[in-house]
Amino acid sequence: MFNFEKPVICVSKCLGFECCRYNGTMSKDDLVNNLKSYVDFIPVCPEVEIGMSIPREALRLVNNGDNIKLIVQKNGEDFTEKMLRFTASFLDSIPKIDGFLLKSKSPSCGIRDVKIYSSNEKGASCDKGSGLFASKVLTRFNNAVIEDEGRLSNYNLRELFLTKIFLYSEFRRIIELGSVEALLKFTEQNKLLFMSYNQKECKTLEKLASNIDVFNFHKAADEYQEHLNNIFSRSARYTSKIKVLLQVLQSFKSHLNLKEQTFVLEVIDMYSKGRIPFTTPLYLIKSYLVRFDCDDILKQSFFEPFPQDLVELRDSGKGLCN
């Protein structure tokens, strides 16, 4: 069991904190609820912060040819300037942050796929983009983890999000400390996790970490962050996860009899064919590491990249097993 520091995450307030949606309701979100014990949330409702009431008339994004405007659909009142002013001062005021978890499809908070209309009149949308608050978050926080709750019903995206917020939070604290030793330890403890996402970038990070000293720390840390972003720019491929499992297997294989070895390989094969989730071979291998006292390998974050209480197998679509 690892000790995880709490990531600092800015969250749309309507995701389980307050009934502040335009119709006076909130969106119940199981993930946000489960995360409350593990994350320091900063809830915000940009629409209420700019003085709108609960309930209120719905807003929409309108492209007037030059700019995207935030308009009250019913009467055309324009809240663009108020929203831009609030967003700038709010983003200036928040402390060091590891990520944002925002409400999908909202004209203020949605990070993608928000409907954009050509006018305030009734009619179909003409484009899609980001909500006004979210668009400023996206341009300003290049290194933060930014997601909407809708996408996190997908198992792989949820696993990636959870992995990143805990990892990035630890990395941020190391940078604040300016500790070369802590960065080397971070690189070592996350080695198998990095490999399971991107072998090439993992090697680059190891090389970078081994060349860092106190004099070039912050410059090298910026470069480190870029490669970290590359590693976690997509979910881990199942083939890379299997490579890591097979590599770990080598460390205790000689203690297993032939039947046990065959069984482990069969379980990995079932995972590769999409018949069982990744947690099955992972926990099987982990049980042998515990049995054979492979404590150094057990310290690898690959075996627990985020708190185990947050592991949840529900999935909105494809990809549960791979």
**Which residues in this chain contact ligand SF4 in the complex, by CB under 6 A?**
12-14, 20-21, 45-47, 103, 106, 108-109
Identify which of residues 108 and 130 has a Cβ nearer to ligand SF4 in the complex.
108
Q: CB of 311: closest distance to ligand SF4 in angstroms? A: 27
55 preceded by a cis bond (ω within 30 of 0): yes
- Of the pair 62, 221, the CB lying nearest ligand SF4 is at 62
101 vs 50, 110, 134, 211, 315, CA distance in Å?
20, 10, 10, 35, 18
Cβ nearer to ligand SF4, comparing 29 with 159? 29
CB of 106 to ligand SF4, least distance (A): 3
Q: Which of 137, 112, 152 is nearest to 30 (CA)?
A: 152
Residue type for 142, please?
Answer: N
Tokens of 272: 């590769």
Q: How far is the CB of 93 from ligand SF4 (least distance, A)?
A: 17
- Closest distance to ligand SF4 from the beta carbon of 105 (Å): 8
Q: Point out which residues pair with 72 in neighbouring strands.
A: 59
What angle do the packed helices 180-189 and 217-231 form, to 10 degrees?
20
Name the residue nearer to ligand SF4 (CB basis): 32 or 221: 32
The β-bridge relationship of strands 8-12 and 114-117 is unpaired
Least distance from C-beta 42 to ligand SF4, angstroms? 12
Choice between 86 and 194, CB closer to ligand SF4: 86
Residue number with CB closer to ligand SF4 (103 or 172) = 103
Residue in the shown chain whose Cβ atom is closest to ligand SF4: 14
At its nearest, how many Å lie between ligand SF4 and the CB of residue 174? 32
- Are the beta carbons of 14 and 26 closer than 8 angstroms? yes
